[in-house]
C-alpha cells in the first residue's frame, strides 16, 4: 500500500477501534436512547458511519474498474477537501444523504455492526492495496456535496466524518 494511504488507513482504523472500546460496556438503553426526535442515538450514529463508508467503498471499487480513464484531481479538489474538513470541524448539522439513510438498517446490535465493520475494513485495506501509486490522484470517489475526489481525499474524509460525529457520541454517553 502507498505509504500515504497506509498512514491514513492506520489512523482511520485506530479511530474505529477506539470507538468500539469506548462503547464496550455501554448498555443497550444508552445506545438506543434518542435525546429527541430530531437527534440520533449512539447506535444510529455508529450505523451511519459504517453505512457511509460501506457505500463509499462500493462506489470507489466500481469506479476503479476504469481508473485509467478518469481525470486526476488538482487544486480545485484540494480546496474542496479543505472546505469539507472545515465543514466537519464546525458544529453544524447536516442532513445525511438519502442513499445513506435508505441503506441504514434500523435494528442492528453494536456487536453486529462491529463484525460487519471488521469485514468492511479488511475489504477497504485490500482495495487500498490494489491502488497503484500512478492512480492515487484519479477522481474515483463521489462526495455528496464536494463532488469527485481522489482516494487519498476519500480516506481523509472518512476520518473527518468520524471526528465530526465523535463529540455527539461523547455527549450522549454523558447524558
Give the pLDDT confidence score for residue 106 in this predicted structure. 66
CB atoms within 10 A of CB 5: 19
Which listed CATH number (3.40.50.300, 3.30.450.40, 2.40.160.20, 1.20.120.450) goes with 3-174?
A: 1.20.120.450
Q: Average pLDDT, stretch 129-151?
A: 95
* Predicted local confidence at residue 88, as pLDDT: 82
pLDDT band, very low/low/confident/very high, at 96 (cuts 50, 70, 90): low
Nearest-angstrom CA–CA distance, 140 and 19: 28
- Does pLDDT of 132 surpass 80? yes
Cα Rg, the chain, nearest whole Å:
16
Of 2-11, 85-94, 95-104, which range is least confident?
Answer: 95-104
pLDDT band for position 175 (cuts 50, 70, 90): confident
Give the number of other CB atoms < 10 A from CB of residue 171: 12
Q: What angle do CA 42, 46, 52 make, to 5 degrees?
A: 145
Is the pLDDT reported for residue 116 higher than 90?
yes
Q: Residue 87's pLDDT band (boundaries 50, 70, 90)?
A: confident
Q: State how far the Cα of 67 lies from the Cα of 60, in Å rounded to an integer.
A: 9
- Give residue limits of the domains in the chain: 3-174
SS3 state of residue 71: coil
C-alpha cell at 87: 465543514
pLDDT in tens, 29-39: 888 888 777 78
Question: Rounded to an integer, what distance in angstroms lies between the CA atom of residue 152 and that of residue 4?
Answer: 8
Amino acid at each position: 500500500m502507498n505509504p500515504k494511504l497506509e498512514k491514513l488507513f492506520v489512523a482511520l482504523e485506530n479511530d474505529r477501534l477506539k470507538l468500539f472500546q469506548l462503547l464496550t460496556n455501554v448498555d443497550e438503553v444508552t445506545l438506543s436512547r434518542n435525546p429527541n426526535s430530531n437527534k440520533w442515538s449512539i447506535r444510529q450514529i455508529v450505523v451511519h458511519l459504517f453505512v457511509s463508508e460501506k457505500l463509499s467503498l462500493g462506489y470507489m471499487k466500481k469506479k476503479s474498474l476504469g481508473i485509467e480513464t478518469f481525470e486526476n484531481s488538482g487544486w480545485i479538489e484540494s480546496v474542496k477537501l479543505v472546505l469539507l474538513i472545515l465543514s466537519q470541524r464546525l458544529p453544524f448539522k447536516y442532513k445525511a444523504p438519502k442513499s445513506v439513510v435508505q441503506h441504514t438498517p434500523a435494528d442492528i446490535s453494536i456487536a453486529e455492526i462491529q463484525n460487519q465493520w471488521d469485514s468492511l475494513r479488511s475489504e477497504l485495506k485490500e482495495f487500498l492495496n490494489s491502488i497503484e501509486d500512478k492512480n492515487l490522484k484519479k477522481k474515483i470517489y463521489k462526495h455528496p456535496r464536494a463532488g469527485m475526489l481522489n482516494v487519498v481525499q476519500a480516506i481523509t474524509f472518512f476520518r473527518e466524518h468520524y471526528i465530526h460525529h465523535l463529540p455527539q457520541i461523547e455527549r450522549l454517553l454523558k447524558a
